[in-house]
Amino acid sequence: MAITLPLIPLNGVPLRKLQSQEPSSNKFNGMVPPIMNDKIHAERCLFQLRSKTTPIEKYIYLSMLKEQDPAMFYRLCLTNMGEFTPIIYTPTVGDACLQYSNIYRRPEGLFISIKDKGNIQGVLKSWKSVDDARISVVTDGSRILGLGDLGVNGMPISAGKLALYIAGAGVRPNSTLPICLDLGTNTQKYLDDPFYLGLRQKRVSDSEMKEFMDEFMAAMAATFPKVIVQFEDFSTDNAFQYLERYRHRYPVLNDDIQGTGAVVLSGFTNAAKLSSAASGRALSDHRILFFGAGSAGVGVAMQLMSFFTIQGLSTEEARERIWLVDSQGLVFNTRGKLPNHKQCFSRRDYEGPRMTDLVDIINYVKPTALLGLSTISDAFSPGVIQAMAANNPRPIIFPLSNPVRLSECTFKSAVEHSNGRVLFASGSPFDAIQHDGKMLHAGQGNNMYIFPGLGLGCILSRTRSVTDSMVEAASLGLADSLTPEERDCGLLYPRIERIRSISVQIATTVIRSAQKEGVDRSPELRSMKDAELSEWVKSKMWNPLPSETRSSL
Ligand SMILES: NC(=O)C1=CN([C@@H]2O[C@H](COP(=O)(O)OP(=O)(O)OC[C@H]3O[C@@H](n4cnc5c(N)ncnc54)[C@H](O)[C@@H]3O)[C@@H](O)[C@H]2O)C=CC1
Ligand SMILES: CC(=O)C(=O)O
Ligand SMILES: [Mg+2]
């Protein structure tokens, strides 16, 4: 039965208010259907969503719902997290980016282009809720997931991450600001596409970008004094460069370097304990091989050093537990000139010849863990998985590249070729599978578990900067957040349906860490006991659910 809904707020009255009117009310002059029940309308929205046949149609439907009826969108998102995240986030958001200039309906964030240089603050002031902005996700579209330089088509990434801030951490929708910078694109296909929404020019020079970024950051701080800036999906060199350039001046974080580092440290910590229980190997003896040495690979490697230093190893000993592989093979000192970000982990104990075959590298390194952040789909072939399984009773294999079609292997392949022994987490979701009569679940090692809670902790502590200790605290908060039932099921990450309580736990540890580091600007939180602080964090979360269902979160 087709039902026509008044989808646009009427006379400035939000749709939710209209819908809560009694059927008999004629206050809105017949613009509300006679029978408008909130619960049934939620079912109706789900019905509409589920009747779309392709993921991109579902994405478009949910984008419209988010725009037209945010409270309903977030209510449904929170109560159907497992169904919604693959649509509003990876993998479907990757397709939405690829097709953004074709499917574009309405602006959902700010586009700031190189042509705005000299007037960036003027553009920022046009944002609808200038007083409120607390968190902004900023991309320049130069490395969207593993899909390359998509220019302004990267906007759905900023919008999608912020939707998870709202759903997962209860940041108020009006406090979020998605931004896509247009500094050109080097992808010719877009420059030739009449629908492409960005400037028709190649990316600007490094020096021009630096001047632009300096003005942009100063304008953000002046316009939104309370805002935290999350850099997202910048190409490798710029990701490292701009994090370093601003992290001591402004409260900024880079999600791909720090958020990914934290989420993998957490899942790896849980996996290493299970792996060591099976092998008898000391935790400090794990050996980690990274396939992919870009912003995410090296960001994770830097964060995983703390796994070993927590076990009592020195920084140098921790570094020795890590090997990198890039597109040229094993990274070692005498191979030739290396970019700065790879130098720290370049091996000094290997002098050649070049080693490029992954099975050869595994047989040489004998890793206990293999982590993929390479964007190379199926790089973890059956032979690679078997080599890992031959050396380890419970091999740790994390194919972390996004979206799902770029994953280094599927869950099914990892389970089959390790005879069900694998400890697995992937960047994008995989369905659970049956093996030997047992249901096995894939962990999702994605920074979506970290950034909502980390960002919330930063907002509530009013931090001056985001320190390494705060990122590490977020990671340990996540590792500690598994329930006994989740541990019994062998999960490496908690169930995503519990994202709000996970975010409370992470935000609380992040606030405490900010206080220890002396970067907090909310002194009134210092005297609170931990339980009181957690309750206070929870009370600050925006909640779209009717009060009777809130306790289920
Ligand atoms: N699971 C998660 O939460 C996250 C996943 N990622 C994913 O990680 C992937 C990489 O991201 P970035 O590090 O930022 O990209 P990047 O472009 O900076 O790095 C890619 C790395 O892979 C290496 N590589 C490329 N081809 C290779 C080959 N044939 N063999 C071996 N290595 C090869 C490159 O040399 C480079 O070191 C992307 O797919 C991204 O979506 C990124 C951030 C978070
Ligand atoms: C998850 C994420 O941030 C990425 O793939 O870039
Ligand atoms: Mg990213």
- The string of pLDDT tens digits covering residues 420-453 is 999 999 999 999 999 999 999 999 999 999 999 9
* pLDDT over 80 at 25, yes or no: no
Q: Which ligand is nearest to the CA of 428?
A: 1
How confident is the model over 220-246, as pLDDT tens digits? 999 999 999 999 999 999 999 999 999
The closest of 256, 26, 56 to 140, measured between CA atoms, is 256
Q: Which ligand is nearest to the CA of 142?
A: 1
* pLDDT over 90 at 58, yes or no: yes
pLDDT of residue 128: 74
* pLDDT over 60 at 315, yes or no: yes
How confident is the model over 158-190, as pLDDT tens digits? 999 999 999 999 999 999 999 999 999 999 999
Pocket test for ligand 1, best of 327, 328, 424 (most atoms within 8 A of CB): 327
Region 38-46 average pLDDT: 94
| CA 293 to ligand 1 centroid distance, Å | 7
Is 238 annotated among the ligand-binding residues? no
Cβ atoms of 271 and 370 closer than 8 Å: no
Give the pLDDT band of residue 26 (cuts 50, 70, 90): low
Atom of ligand 1 nearest to the CA of 295: 13
| CA 292 to ligand 2 centroid distance, Å | 14
How confident is the model over 272-294, as pLDDT tens digits? 999 999 999 999 999 999 999 99
Strand order in the sheet with 322-326: 329-330, 322-326, 288-291, 369-372, 396-399, 423-426, 443-444
Q: Where are the alpha helices (DSSP H) in 172-286?
A: 188-191, 206-223, 236-246, 260-279
* pLDDT over 80 at 379, yes or no: yes
* pLDDT over 60 at 521, yes or no: yes
Q: Does residue 455 or residue 15 have the better pLDDT?
A: 455
| CA 310 to ligand 3 centroid distance, Å | 27
* pLDDT over 60 at 11, yes or no: no
* pLDDT over 90 at 200, yes or no: yes
CA nearest ligand 1 atom 2, residue: 446
The full length of the chain comes to 553
Atom of ligand 2 nearest to the CA of 402: 5
Give the pLDDT band of residue 548 (cuts 50, 70, 90): low
CA nearest ligand 1 atom 7, residue: 401
- Tokens 């419970």 label which residue? 394
Q: How far apart are CA 176 and CA 132, in angstroms?
A: 8
Pocket test for ligand 2, best of 145, 406, 407 (most atoms within 8 A of CB): 145
Atom of ligand 1 nearest to the CA of 406: 39
Atom of ligand 2 nearest to the CA of 161: 3
Q: Which whole-number Å values give the CA distances from 312 to 100, 155, 368, in the listed order?
A: 48, 43, 19
Give the pLDDT band of residue 31 (cuts 50, 70, 90): confident
Taking only Cα atoms into account, the Rg of the chain, rounded to an integer number of angstroms, comes to 24
Pocket of ligand 2 (CB under 6 A): 90, 145, 233, 255-256, 402, 427, 446-447
Give the pLDDT band of residue 33 (cuts 50, 70, 90): confident
How confident is the model over 336-368, as pLDDT tens digits? 999 999 999 999 999 989 999 999 999 999 999
Where do the domains of the chain lie, and which CATH numbers do they carry?
15-86 (no CATH), 104-250 (3.40.50.10380), 258-446 (3.40.50.720), 450-552 (3.40.50.720)
* pLDDT over 90 at 404, yes or no: yes
| CA 181 to ligand 1 centroid distance, Å | 22
Which stretches of 221-374 are assigned E, i.e. beta strand? 228-231, 252-254, 288-291, 322-326, 329-330, 369-372
For 3, the token pair is: 């039902």
| CA 137 to ligand 2 centroid distance, Å | 12
Atom of ligand 2 nearest to the CA of 233: 6
Pocket test for ligand 2, best of 158, 238, 260 (most atoms within 8 A of CB): 260
Give the pLDDT band of residue 8 (cuts 50, 70, 90): very low
CA nearest ligand 2 atom 5, residue: 145
Which stretches of 27-134 are assigned E, i.e. beta strand? 110-113
pLDDT of residue 550: 52
| CA 60 to ligand 3 centroid distance, Å | 21
Catalytic residue numbers read: 89, 161
* pLDDT over 70 at 91, yes or no: yes
Is 233 annotated among the ligand-binding residues? yes
- What DSSP designation does 369 have? E
| CA 228 to ligand 1 centroid distance, Å | 25
* pLDDT over 90 at 29, yes or no: no
Is 143 annotated among the ligand-binding residues? yes
Q: Which ligand is nearest to the CA of 400?
A: 1
Q: Which ligand is nearest to the CA of 303?
A: 1
* pLDDT over 50 at 506, yes or no: yes
* pLDDT over 80 at 191, yes or no: yes
Is 320 annotated among the ligand-binding residues? no
Model-level pTM?
Answer: 0.93
Pocket of ligand 1 (CB under 6 A): 143, 145-146, 236, 256, 260, 263, 291-297, 325-327, 373-376, 400-402, 406, 427, 445-447
Cβ atoms of 465 and 417 closer than 8 Å: no
Q: What is the mean pLDDT of the chain?
A: 93
Atom of ligand 1 nearest to the CA of 292: 22
| CA 122 to ligand 2 centroid distance, Å | 30
Q: How far apart are CA 424 and CA 394, in angstroms?
A: 10
| CA 370 to ligand 1 centroid distance, Å | 14
Is 446 annotated among the ligand-binding residues? yes
CA nearest ligand 2 atom 3, residue: 256
CA nearest ligand 2 atom 4, residue: 145
* pLDDT over 60 at 94, yes or no: yes
* pLDDT over 70 at 74, yes or no: yes
Q: How far apart are CA 266 and CA 478, in angstroms?
A: 6
* pLDDT over 70 at 20, yes or no: no
* pLDDT over 80 at 414, yes or no: yes
Q: Which ligand is nearest to the CA of 373?
A: 1
Region 73-78 average pLDDT: 96
* pLDDT over 70 at 48, yes or no: yes
pLDDT of residue 1: 33
CA nearest ligand 1 atom 10, residue: 373
Atom of ligand 2 nearest to the CA of 403: 5
Pocket test for ligand 2, best of 150, 236, 256 (most atoms within 8 A of CB): 256
Give the pLDDT band of residue 130 (cuts 50, 70, 90): low
How confident is the model over 385-395, as pLDDT tens digits? 999 999 999 99
- Tokens 């090692």 label which residue? 445
Is 436 annotated among the ligand-binding residues? no
pLDDT of residue 497: 94
